[in-house]
Amino acid sequence: MSQDAPPPAPARRRDSAATRAAILSAARETFTQRGYDAAGLREIAHAAEVDTRLISRYFGSKEGLFAEVVDLAYEKSMMMTPEHNAQAARTLLTGGHEAPGATGADAAPAEGLLLTLRSASNPRAAAIMRESIERNYQQRLADALPGTDTEGRAALLIAICAGVLLNRHLLGHTALDGPDTERLIPYLHAALDAVAKMPEQQGDR
Amino acid sequence: MSQDAPPPAPARRRDSAATRAAILSAARETFTQRGYDAAGLREIAHAAEVDTRLISRYFGSKEGLFAEVVDLAYEKSMMMTPEHNAQAARTLLTGGHEAPGATGADAAPAEGLLLTLRSASNPRAAAIMRESIERNYQQRLADALPGTDTEGRAALLIAICAGVLLNRHLLGHTALDGPDTERLIPYLHAALDAVAKMPEQQGDR
DNA sequence: ATCGTAAGTCCACACTCGTGGACATGCAAG
DNA sequence: CTTGCATGTCCACGAGTGTGGACTTACGAT
């Protein structure tokens, strides 16, 4: 009890850095769960236990806040190399339901991609995400690919992952969420390899 | 000129069937271009040159209208068999910019999938689309697949196609829309084959 | 020619959205 | 202690949304 904060305030009172961080965290979660359009500033502010008007103060506008959230998501998102295609296929098809609050490097690529999928319908949000993906993620993935056309193939890999997550989590396809989903892992693995590896390496395990 | 309609009215005046069709057509286009949430009933009504209130009269609600549009889109959407993977890969990566008004069987699967992608962020719309896809499209595709786990693999194929279209048309990934996009066709083709064909058929062309 | 009914039209409600400006407050420097 | 400025708070606006109810019109059958 002697550890109580000296001021009688129950929480932080005047800490702009902490406030910014709280807004950012709440925004990441809300945007990921509901998408850019459906997520309201009032809802984000309520989740962050912060006055609504402070968001506009710190981030300028809803777009500004979103851009910062997207950048953060893809900066920290998991790296995917051709060697990890097997694990990626498994994670995409079976994971994703646990650890919804995982932040940072622990977060699966699903975090950023889910955010992208749910906000892609808004053209402004789509432009922001495209820019961030190409700058933060696609470039690193392309550098890890062998052979030629690495940029395009990296984009193709991202597209395949996004498509699976879309059908599984947004549409909720029963065929991708049932107990038989594990049997699809080899197929998805082969599809990823077909894009990530060169033809002569296809058979490698 | 002698073929003019007998009544001096510039357009149809009292034709419930034609009005319904006009609303449906305008709704399909508007929903596809802007997504479920962004498309307003007033906007659809204006495009169909119809009073807004008529939509609620004919279709009950926005959801009812959307459900009918989705069903129509997937009923008529193109069939995709394993033999057509090459053409599908080409169409997904290079086509889609022409014939935006194509209706019926001529419409690429892009039509229905674009509608799906832009509306997937809304949970209600997602549920409607999932139901329609599984009923109208996925089942036929699964029947055309060899081997086992045909339902799941059909869902996987749809997911891959959706992902490519998402990155290309919604996000506007430059790597998937540039002049080098044609070089990616073999890779996408191989990925589709990896899911659609059995392992021993992989090399077949 | 007349009347019933379907087809089409208009007004309005309750609600949510992002954002602007004016005001109160507490921490840190003088 | 006093002052200055960043930090946090509140009210409100105008523009959207989907939809309900009451009204007017024209077509088709009697």
Residue B3 falls within a domain, yes or no?
Answer: no
Mean pLDDT of B103-110: 50
Considering only CB atoms, B180 lies closest to which of A149, A164, A195, namely A149
* Closest CA–CA distance from residue B17 to any residue of chain A (Å): 32
Expressed as residue numbers, the domain containing A32 is 16-61
Among residues B38, B65, B92, the one where a domain terminates is B65
Tell me the per-residue pLDDT of A160-183, one tens digit each, with 9 for 90 and over. 999 999 999 999 999 998 889 999
What pLDDT, on the 0 to 100 scale, is given for residue B8? 37
What pLDDT, on the 0 to 100 scale, is given for residue B7? 37
Is residue A136 less than 8 Å (CB to CB) from chain B? no
pLDDT of residue B157 exceeding 80, the answer is yes
Residue A10 falls within a domain, yes or no?
Answer: no
Residue A11 falls within a domain, yes or no?
Answer: no
Do A176 and A110 fall within a single domain? yes
**A159/B180 touch (CB, cutoff 8 Å), yes or no:** no
Do A83 and A132 fall within a single domain? yes
Is residue B127 less than 8 Å (CB to CB) from chain A? yes
Do A20 and A89 fall within a single domain? no
CA–CA separation, A111 vs A73, rounded Å?
7
Do B20 and B104 fall within a single domain? no
Tell me the pLDDT band of B5, cut-offs 50, 70 and 90. Answer: very low
**High-pLDDT (> 90) share of chain B, %:** 67
Complete DSSP assignment for A34-88: H-TTT--HHHHHHHTTS-HHHHHHHHSSHHHHHHHHHHHHHHSSPP--GGGHHHH
Tell me the per-residue pLDDT of A135-150, one tens digit each, with 9 for 90 and over. 988 888 999 999 999 9
Do A38 and A86 fall within a single domain? no
What pLDDT, on the 0 to 100 scale, is given for residue A6? 37
Do B47 and B101 fall within a single domain? no
- The answer to whether some atom of strand D lies closer than 7 Å to the beta carbon of B13 is yes
Enumerate residue ranges in chain A where pLDDT < 70: 1-13, 78-79, 96-109, 202-205
Mean of the per-residue pLDDT values of chain B: 86
Which nucleotide lies nearest residue B63, CA to C1'? D18
Tell me the pLDDT band of B82, cut-offs 50, 70 and 90. Answer: confident
Do A56 and A81 fall within a single domain? no
Do B154 and B178 fall within a single domain? yes
* Closest CA–CA distance from residue A33 to any residue of chain B (Å): 9
**High-pLDDT (> 70) share of chain B, %:** 83
What pLDDT, on the 0 to 100 scale, is given for residue B101? 47
Mean pLDDT of B26-35: 96
Is residue A177 less than 8 Å (CB to CB) from chain B? no
CATH number at residue B33: 1.10.10.60
Q: Cα B170 from chain centroid?
A: 14
What pLDDT, on the 0 to 100 scale, is given for residue A109? 58
- The answer to whether some atom of strand C lies closer than 7 Å to the beta carbon of B9 is no
Among residues B44, B65, B86, the one where a domain terminates is B65
Q: What are phi and psi of A66, to 5 degrees?
A: -60, -45
Considering its fold, how many domains does chain A have in total?
Answer: 2
Residue B11 falls within a domain, yes or no?
Answer: no
Both tokens of B83, joined, read 């033999």
Do A96 and A48 fall within a single domain? no
